[in-house]
Structure 1
Amino acid sequence: MVVAHGPKGEIGLGNKLLWHIPEDLKNFKKLTVGKMIVMGRKTYESIGRPLPDRANVVITRDTTFKPDGVIVIHDPMMAFDLALEAESDLEVDDFEMVVIGGGEIFNFFLPYTQKIYLSEVPYEGPADAFFPPVDYKEWEVLKKEEFKDFTFKILDRI
C-alpha cells in the first residue's frame, strides 16, 4: 500500500486529496512507476486518467464503467490473480502490487498487505474518507524519514 494520511487516518474529502505536497507526490510516483496499481473507482475518477507507466487496475461494482487504459475488475480478489499473472509474465521475484486507495479498498486489502509506504501529514481539518485503523504492534518500521510537510515511513508486517 501507498498512502498519505492525517493523524486520524484522514485521506480525502469530497473525492479529493486533502493536501498538495509536491515532494510526497514525487515519492508516490517513484514508488509506483513500473508496478501494478490497484484503486477504487472514486480514486480513479479523482485522478481523472490512467497514471502513466503503471498497470492501472480499477475495482468497481459498476458493470458499465469501462474507461480506456485501465483494467476494470468487479471482485477485489481478482487483483491477486492479475498480480500473479503479471509476476510470472515478468519473471521477477520482487514484483509489487500496490494498493493506492480509497478508504474501502484500503480496508479490504489491509489484512493481505505485507508492506505500507506511509506518509504521515500533520493535517487538521474535515475529511470523509479514512485509512483503516492499523495495529502498529504488527508492523516493523524499516525506514523513517522526516520532510518539511510530512513524515515518510516504510512499514513491514511482522
Structure 2
Amino acid sequence: MKVTIVAAVAQNGIIGIDNRLPWHLPEDLAFFKQTTLGCPVLMGRKTYESINRPLPGRLNVVLSSDPSWQPAPAKDGTPRSLIAYPAELPAGSTTQIASATNLPNALSWLNGFDQVFLIGGSNLYQQALDQNLVDELILTEIHESFDGDASFPDWDRTRFIEVGRTVNPASAERTWGFDFVKYARVNVATNTAI
C-alpha cells in the first residue's frame, strides 16, 4: 500500500488557521478531489470536523484518541453511520466514515488498499513522517506567506526526491502563484525514487 501525504503549504509553512484554509484556491480543491477520489483518505478528528461531512467518493477514516467519538449528524439531523476499527471496510470509493484510535491501527486496517491519502492535520503529518511511513508527498506549494496557527512539519528533504512539478503562475485573480509538486521517497541504496 502506498501512503501519500496531500497538503497545500504556504511559503512560510502555514497550512491552516482556525481549522480552515487561509486562502481561496479553487484550483487546489479541484486538484485535491481529482487526486484522492476513489481512494481512502485518512485524517485527524479536527480535520474531519473542519470539513464537517464525509468527502464523497472516498472512504473517510478519522483518527481520534477517543474510542467513543461519533461524527456530527448531517445538516438535516440524520445521524451519520460510523465503522469502528477493526470492522470490515467497504471499497475505497464508498462514501463512508470509519474511525480508529491511532495511526498504526488505521494503516494496518487499510492495508488491503493500493493507496491511502493522509489529508491532515499537522499532527498526523508529523506522526507519519517521524515514523517513516510516507511513500510520497503531493504538495501544493503556494508562493506566498499567510497568517495561521497550523504548520506543515519540517521534513527531511534528503529522504525524498522531486518527481513532478506543475507550475501555476500568478494571475489576474491572485497576486501569487503555486505549484503542484510530487515527491517520492528515496531508495537509499540506489538514490532513486521508490
The equivalent of 2:185 in structure 1 is 157
Q: Is 1:96 equivalent to 2:100 in the alignment?
A: no
Gaps of 5+ in 1: 88-94
- The alpha carbon displacement at 1:80 in A equals 1.3
Q: Is the 8 A contact 2:10 2:146 kept in 1?
A: no
- The alpha carbon displacement at 1:64 in A equals 3.0
Aligned equivalents of 1:75 and 1:125: distance in 2? 30
The equivalent of 1:106 in structure 2 is 125
Instruction: Kindly provide the amino acid, as one letter, of the partner of residue 120 in structure 2.
Output: G
The equivalent of 2:191 in structure 1 is none
* Percent of residue pairs identical: 34
TM-score by length of 2: 0.74
Query: Across the two proteins, how many residue pairs are aligned to each other?
Result: 150
- The alpha carbon displacement at 1:121 in A equals 0.8
Matches within 5 A, 1:5-154: 5-67=9-71, 68=80, 69-85=96-112, 87=113, 95-110=114-129, 111-148=132-169, 149-154=177-182
For 1:112, what is the secondary structure of its paired residue? Answer: coil
Gaps of 5+ in 2: 72-79, 81-95, 170-176, 187-194
Instruction: Kindly provide the amino acid, as one letter, of the partner of residue 105 in structure 1.
Output: L
Highest CA radius of gyration, 1 or 2?
A: 2
Alpha carbon RMSD of aligned pairs, Å? 1.2
Larger helix share, 1 or 2: 1
TM-score by length of 1: 0.90
52-61 or 73-82, which deviates more: 73-82
Aligned equivalents of 1:125 and 1:29: distance in 2? 23
- The alpha carbon displacement at 1:9 in A equals 1.6
